[in-house]
Amino acid sequence: MPKKDFLSIADLDRPDLERLLRRGLEMKNARKEGREKRTLEGKILGLIFHKPSLRTRVSFEAGMMHLGGRTIYLTDKEIGIGSREAVGDVGEVLGRYLDAIMIRTFDHTIAVDLARHAPIPVINGLTDLLHPCQILADILTVIEHRGSIENRVVSFFGDGNNVAHSWINAAGLLPFTLRIAVPEGFEPSAEIVETAKKRGGKIEILHDPRAAAKDADVLYTDVWASMGQEAEREKRARAMAPFQINAELLRLAKADALVLHCLPAHRGEEITAEVIDGPHSVVFDEAENRLHAQKAVLEWLLA
């Protein structure tokens, strides 16, 4: 049986995605009720970080501990992947030491090459192209609070970035409407959009934030300048200022709309403090759900 990886939501089919979401909620409830099972006893996960992270590192380390496994944390100083040592060689070597690898890096091709050469599962903890673990947690949060994402309207504001791309991938599999509201010049990958539409995705690319917010069930945003884009910060802030999630935009959404943000948040930039700290916000449930969604992925790949 060929080994499985988790590099992109687009690599899944709908039953697999729904199974992961269902299992994530089951695992969250099992932990709350003290009946969690240590299904990964003796397994070791390697964590490769080229980008620092609070949620990714802690949620993967804690998740493996909860399930009985262990982790080894690796930075580029130890590996020099793609510079000191070829990606394929790293994959071959780590595949003989570990049971799985999570990589959080810049260039998506590094994650793809690592998965191609490693004889063990590889998980995309984030690349500049995609952030599939985050979107699993996001959808799990919507289901937790609203029972289902089916027939909902999710509106994403700001930059057509890796988070937007993974939302688009998910819209190609699940029956909800996705609106991507971005300034001109910051649209998501046309190829990713077209692929998701061919799979049945209901996706709209808009340049009017008010139209995107109208009667939406979920308002979602991310930072305007991600790691590696600091030099563009002022330019991005000027372009994206009209796409800030604030009280005015929230009033256009449904009365019970949820507000999500993948964190870290810059209050006063992509979202106001009033909204992110207000009653519609479920961002800390969303952050917690990284743990449970990723535990479902780890179990799916390793148990």
Q: Which member of 138, 290, 292, 294 is catalytic?
A: 290
Contact between 89 and 35 (Cβ < 8 Å): no
Residue 69 has pLDDT above 80, yes or no: yes
The pLDDT assigned to 230 comes to 74
Among this protein's residues, is 244 annotated catalytic?
no
pLDDT band at 279 (very low <50, low <70, confident <90, very high): very high
Among this protein's residues, is 104 annotated catalytic?
yes
Q: Which member of 55, 108, 117, 131 is catalytic?
A: 131
Q: Which member of 134, 152, 179, 217 is catalytic?
A: 134
The pLDDT assigned to 82 comes to 79
Identity of the amino acid at 57:
R
Listed in sequence order, the DSSP H helices in 156-282 are 162-171, 190-198, 209-213, 233-240, 247-252, 273-276
The pLDDT assigned to 134 comes to 98
Among this protein's residues, is 11 annotated catalytic?
no
Among this protein's residues, is 133 annotated catalytic?
no
Residue 78 has pLDDT above 90, yes or no: no
Among this protein's residues, is 207 annotated catalytic?
no
The pLDDT assigned to 113 comes to 97
The pLDDT assigned to 1 comes to 73
Fold of 9-131+290-302: Rossmann fold (3.40.50)
Residue 81 has pLDDT above 80, yes or no: yes
Q: Which CATH number fits domain 134-286: 3.40.50.80, 3.40.50.720, 3.40.50.1370, 2.30.30.110?
A: 3.40.50.1370
Report the mean per-residue pLDDT for the chain. 96
Residues 1-50: pLDDT tens digits? 789 999 999 999 999 999 999 999 999 999 999 999 999 999 999 999 99
β-bridge mates for residue 48, sequence order: 74, 103
2-6, 149-153, 287-291: which range is least confident on average? 2-6
Contact between 66 and 295 (Cβ < 8 Å): yes
Query: Can 9-131+290-302 and 134-286 be said to share one CATH topology?
Result: yes
Q: What tokens does 158 get?
A: 């700001």
Q: What are the residue boundaries of the structural domains of the chain, listed by start?
A: 9-131+290-302, 134-286
Listed in sequence order, the DSSP H helices in 41-98 are 55-66, 76-79, 87-97
Global pTM reads: 0.97
